[in-house]
Structure 1
């Protein structure tokens, strides 16, 4: 699905990531850890084609990113849902319209899709906030709306960058439960987080592989997490 082969990425004359090889298999669940500034966000951007490796090969669903056109990458990214660390919404549109934006952009607005949108908002617990504007939402509501928007196109892969970074423990557990449910539906999940408590909480519910970025390289984290 997503493959990185001996990937390196440099920025401003310095190498941020080096010699990274990883294949995300269908239905797998990964956590990505590492200190602030280690390159977790850069790594995720390499995984969904927002960045092109300085060297090595990044493949999205079998196609090398370096040889893909912008249209090719845009089509491939419909199969990847991304929950960004800094959640951005169009503040003049209600929550329901923000969540449905990927459908609108892709020309898939229809009665059937409208039913799917209502079901999705119910699933993330935002039915009563469907008409609210983004500035009116709490931090947890914004994160749930971001997750709903990321999965509205029914992607094969969900990449979440610190999705619980700005919410309390109870809400982080709710978001984690939603991501675990998606994995049980067959979706491939990768969560970038510095919260080891979140990883420990997940391990009793899902078979997760824990990866750590350290010294510009990717390592399999120890079993003591």
Structure 2
């Protein structure tokens, strides 16, 4: 299944609404402020990079965007809805609309790669027999057709990252959030991953990538209109043209 473009059948309420919007958001833990006064809008089909020093709060901000953490102040809206007001079922539906590529790329080591990638379908109750062709196409799209039966410990770093991306988009989400997706791969593989993310964006997906790799950002800006956000001193800034 090469990721599908949006169908365009969104409700009138959602048309034109930002996919994710943070308004004066802060997050504190253990009595200490990790992030504060964060305001940013991710519009449909936009492409964003999030950068900043290690430990600056990039992963925390991503988690606020996809609902793994709730802000301690301010407001986070997802697809026009206040995230704090979503009940359990609504939150589950919201999370299906956001595909996340985690930094640590965790898999179930006893399952072959195909079944690991299909896990979101399994959890959501889809009939895997009916998804066989889609899954085959998705494996080909990320270049892993020949590794379909491999177990996760047998994969290289680049293969694991591509598998993580495939798993993140298998439900055809509206948004793809990637946390340091090229942190453990060489330059050639980082370019391959970037191409996949750019292709997703050209299909209408909103993309948000956290990275410390300025060379990757420069490479992307020659291919796609990307907005670069930087965390500095617990605040979010729009990066200048010095990247």
Task: Give TM-score scaled by structure 2 length.
Answer: 0.91
What per-residue deviation string (whole Å, max 9, x for no partner) do you get for residues 97-144 of structure 1? 000000010011244422111000000000000000000000000000
What per-residue deviation string (whole Å, max 9, x for no partner) do you get for residues 123-176 of structure 1? 000000000000000000000000000000000000000000000000000000
| Corresponding residue of 1:24 | 42
* Of 186, 209, 213, the match for 1:191: 209
Preserved contact between residue 122 and residue 128 of structure 2 (Cα < 8 Å): no
The answer on 1:120 being equivalent to 2:138 is yes
| Corresponding residue of 2:83 | 65
Deviation beyond 2 Å, 4+ runs, structure 1: 109-112
Computed over aligned residues only, the root mean square deviation of the Cα atoms, in angstroms, reads: 0.8
How far residue 31 of structure 1 moved from its aligned partner, in angstroms, is: 0.4
Rounded to whole Å, the distance in 1 between the matches of 2:193 and 2:139 is 14
Preserved contact between residue 17 and residue 217 of structure 1 (Cα < 8 Å): yes
Q: How does 1:101-112 map to 2 (within 5 A)?
A: 101-112=119-130
- Structure 2 counterpart SS, 1:8: strand
Rounded to whole Å, the distance in 1 between the matches of 2:157 and 2:62 is 22
Rounded to whole Å, the distance in 2 between the matches of 1:179 and 1:146 is 12
Rounded to whole Å, the distance in 2 between the matches of 1:106 and 1:219 is 37
Aligned length: 225
Preserved contact between residue 49 and residue 60 of structure 1 (Cα < 8 Å): no
- Structure 1 counterpart SS, 2:45: coil
What per-residue deviation string (whole Å, max 9, x for no partner) do you get for residues 49-101 of structure 1? 11010011111112211111222211100000000011100000000000000
Structure 2 residues without counterparts, runs of 5 or longer: 1-18
The answer on 1:99 being equivalent to 2:101 is no
Structure 1 residues without counterparts, runs of 5 or longer: none
Is the deviation greater in 55-64 or in 75-84?
55-64
Preserved contact between residue 3 and residue 59 of structure 1 (Cα < 8 Å): yes
- Structure 1 counterpart SS, 2:76: strand
| Corresponding residue of 1:213 | 231
